[in-house]
Amino acid sequence: MLVEKDVARLSVGCYVSSIVKQSGSHKLKHQGWIKSLHTIEILIDKGVERVIVDTSKHLKEEKTVGSVRDLAKEKQNEHLTGALSKPDKKTSKDNFAESIDKAKAIFDESKQIQRQLFDDVMCGRQIELEPIIEITRQTTEAIFENPDALACIINIREKDEYLLEHSTAVSILMSIFSRFMEIDIKTTRGLSIGAFLHDVGKIKIPDNILNKPAKLTEKEFDIMKTHVLHSVNIINKIPRISKLSLEVAAQHHEKLDASGYPMGLQADKISQYGRMITICDIFDACTANRVYKNGMAQVKAFAILRNMAERKMLDSSLVISFINCMGVYPIGSLVKLESNQLAVVESHNLDDPIRPKVKAFFSVSQNHFVAARDIDLSEQKLEHIEKGVRADDFDLDMNKILEFLILDG
């Protein structure tokens, strides 16, 4: 079936037949599938507004994931896209190890940019927006192609690098959530940048308060709350920063019942995007490891979000959407199987959420790693998840676990 569609609503896998509305004079060199977000970005940049999509030729996502690496070369030579990729029968799915390796590289680069960002603020230097735009572009593209690998990577945390990793993780979560909510790519990139910058003001908070292992006093908490205003002031000075990016950073601690800060905004003054980043921020803060405490299991963090929604602090419908987006057992989380093995959740089964696809890798009874094996719990009815767990529960390091899985893959 041929349907007319806004270019901003296109997704990877769509088969575009023709352009029907544009502000420029761009011409397609050929019909074909969209195999990367960069192709959509080119169409938008060329002024293309609406296209004809042949829904009978939609390319399934698993067939397009492996094309990102090849198409990265094309963005350096725009004429190769035309702007669409030619139909290619040789597309293949990246395996788990390759996807994780690629995602880890993006995560590590994000941390380096965060480190430079904080250093620039401390030294009074002008923040460069370009590296932030580029890394969030890479992140958003990877997530719209295949969100599972980056969702898995954010479970790797260095306890002494919480400040660097938290903002990166919230930016990733915001992009994953936006994809689930069918928010267009351009907007998602603006949200991702805002989330990436949302906690930059914490560099202005005294370390004895920022990393205090005990509960903050009322006076200390008042100082801690000023980090949002610091963030807003810092972000405001970045040339070409968008209002959208500033908005989500400014609202990430506001609550619908006006109990949030720094402005104490009422519900009608908090945007959907502000509501979304608050949920992502709380979830990551609950599940991340820190020097003075271990993070909680994802299912417990979900319970906290639901409780806050019931108390009218968070948007109830968005909390439900976020939990559905992450899944009962989030990608990258660890589970203990009834067969006394540990497994990492690889992907969801939408028809049976409590029976995802997992990769078993550790024998609890023998207390050692075993050859990794893929298990689709929706097909292997004799195997069940006993409970969600954390690596720390078994004196394991999540980083070591993923290194093992990458090598095994």
Instruction: Render pLDDT for 62-71 as a digit per residue (tens, 0 to 9).
Output: 333 333 334 3
Q: Model confidence over 300-349: pLDDT tens digits?
A: 999 999 999 999 999 999 999 999 999 888 888 899 999 999 999 988 88
Average pLDDT of the residues in 50-76: 52
Please report the pLDDT score of residue 94 as a whole number: 45
**Structure confidence at residue 76 as a pLDDT band (50, 70, 90):** very low
Average pLDDT of the residues in 96-119: 87
In the chain, the number of structural domains is 3
Q: Let me know whether 192 and 321 are in one domain.
A: yes
pLDDT at 42 over 70: yes
**Structure confidence at residue 77 as a pLDDT band (50, 70, 90):** very low
Burial of 120 (0-12, 13-18, 19+ CB in 10 A): middle
Q: How far apart are the first and last CA of the chain?
A: 40
pLDDT at 80 over 70: no
Q: Let me know whether 150 and 214 are in one domain.
A: yes
Boundary-marking domain end, from 28, 56, 71: 71
- Orientation angle between helical segments 218-225 and 227-236, nearest 10 degrees: 10
Q: Let me know whether 166 and 284 are in one domain.
A: yes
Query: Is residue 28 domain-resident?
Result: yes
Q: Model confidence over 120-170: pLDDT tens digits?
A: 999 999 999 999 999 999 999 888 887 788 888 887 777 778 888 999 999
Please report the pLDDT score of residue 32 as a whole number: 84
Average pLDDT of the residues in 281-310: 91
Boundary-marking domain end, from 326, 342, 373: 326
Domain membership of residue 32 as a residue range: 2-71
pLDDT at 29 over 70: yes
Q: Let me know whether 228 and 266 are in one domain.
A: yes
Boundary-marking domain end, from 294, 326, 358: 326
Q: Let me know whether 185 and 233 are in one domain.
A: yes
Q: Let me know whether 129 and 147 are in one domain.
A: yes
Question: Across 42-51, 57-66, 323-332, which has the greatest mean pLDDT?
Answer: 323-332
Q: Model confidence over 217-251: pLDDT tens digits?
A: 999 999 999 999 999 999 999 999 999 999 999 99
Q: Let me know whether 179 and 280 are in one domain.
A: yes
CATH number at residue 134: 1.10.3210.10
Burial of 137 (0-12, 13-18, 19+ CB in 10 A): middle
Place of tokens 């969209």: 34
pLDDT at 61 over 70: no
**Residue 45 and residue 9 in contact, taking contact as beta carbons nearer than 8 Å:** no
Query: Is residue 79 domain-resident?
Result: no
Q: Let me know whether 204 and 284 are in one domain.
A: yes
Average pLDDT of the residues in 350-379: 91
Average pLDDT of the residues in 14-37: 82
pTM comes to 0.74
Q: Let me know whether 314 and 346 are in one domain.
A: no
Per the DSSP assignment, residues forming a β-bridge with 409 are none
Q: Let me know whether 113 and 158 are in one domain.
A: yes
